[in-house]
């Protein structure tokens, strides 16, 4: 039996009315040139909500109150080298002005209508944005 290699990540579904904030990845070595959401790996010893708050600050320059975050979905994702448990968190309130705080990894940040997402978007992130967030969902990806 092969020992599992799991990583955890957070994906922030940041909504403003009927729009979602997306970022275009660059220089990361993973899905560069495609649109995604503010996201990142959960550090060792870090709780999911804390990771989401940290990623929002690191990538978009904003502060989020933990009470404004809602976990809406989870995926168990597999690629050729590793397995991931991805947590999707919806948020509609934050403090500060959204900026591209990591221009070396992000070409741009842009609001998109949830019904008009760009074609060149990471597939599993697109699915997450398109889901109904009224109840918690789970999906396996890459199996």
Cα gap 51→53, rounded to integer Å:
5
> Residue 135 has what pLDDT?
83
Parallel/antiparallel/unpaired status of strands 83-91 and 70-78: antiparallel
Cα gap 75→136, rounded to integer Å:
11
pLDDT in tens, the chain (143 residues): 777 778 999 999 999 999 999 999 998 888 889 999 999 999 999 999 999 999 999 999 999 999 999 999 999 999 888 899 999 999 999 999 999 999 999 999 999 999 999 999 999 999 999 987 778 989 898 87
In sequence order, what E strands does the chain have?
6-16, 19-25, 35-36, 38-41, 70-78, 83-91, 106-113, 137-141
> Residue 143 has what pLDDT?
77
> Residue 137 has what pLDDT?
86
Total domains, the chain: 1
Q: At residue 8, what are phi and psi to the nearest 5 degrees?
A: -115, 145
> Residue 5 has what pLDDT?
79
Cα gap 141→134, rounded to integer Å:
21
DSSP 57-89: HHHH--B--GGG-EEEEEEEEE-SS-EEEEEEE
Assigned domain for 1 exists = no
Assigned domain for 19 exists = yes
- The secondary structure element, H or E, covering residue 125 is helix 123-130
Cα gap 34→2, rounded to integer Å:
32
Report yes or no: 31 and 106 within 8 Å, Cβ to Cβ: no
User: What CATH number corresponds to the domain at position 83?
Assistant: 3.90.79.10
Q: At residue 10, what are phi and psi to the nearest 5 degrees?
A: -120, 145
Q: What is the pTM of this model?
A: 0.92
> Residue 121 has what pLDDT?
98
> Residue 39 has what pLDDT?
97
Domain containing 126 equals 6-141
Cα gap 101→86, rounded to integer Å:
22
Assigned domain for 78 exists = yes
């Amino acid at each position: 039996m092969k020992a599992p290699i799991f990583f955890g990540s957070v994906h922030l579904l940041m909504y403003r009315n009927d729009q979602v904030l997306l970022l275009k990845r660059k220089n990361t070595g993973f899905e560069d040139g495609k649109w995604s959401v503010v996201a990142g790996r959960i550090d060792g010893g870090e709780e999911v909500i804390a990771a989401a708050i940290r990623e929002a600050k690191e990538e978009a320059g904003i502060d989020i109150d933990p009470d404004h975050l809602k976990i809406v979905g989870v995926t168990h994702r597999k690629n050729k080298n590793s397995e991931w448990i991805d947590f999707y968190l919806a948020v509609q309130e934050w403090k500060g002005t959204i900026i591209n705080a990591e221009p070396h990894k992000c070409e741009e940040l842009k609001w998109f209508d949830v019904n008009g997402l760009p074609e060149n978007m990471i597939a599993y992130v697109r699915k997450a944005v398109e889901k109904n967030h009224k109840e918690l969902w789970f999906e396996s990806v890459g199996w």
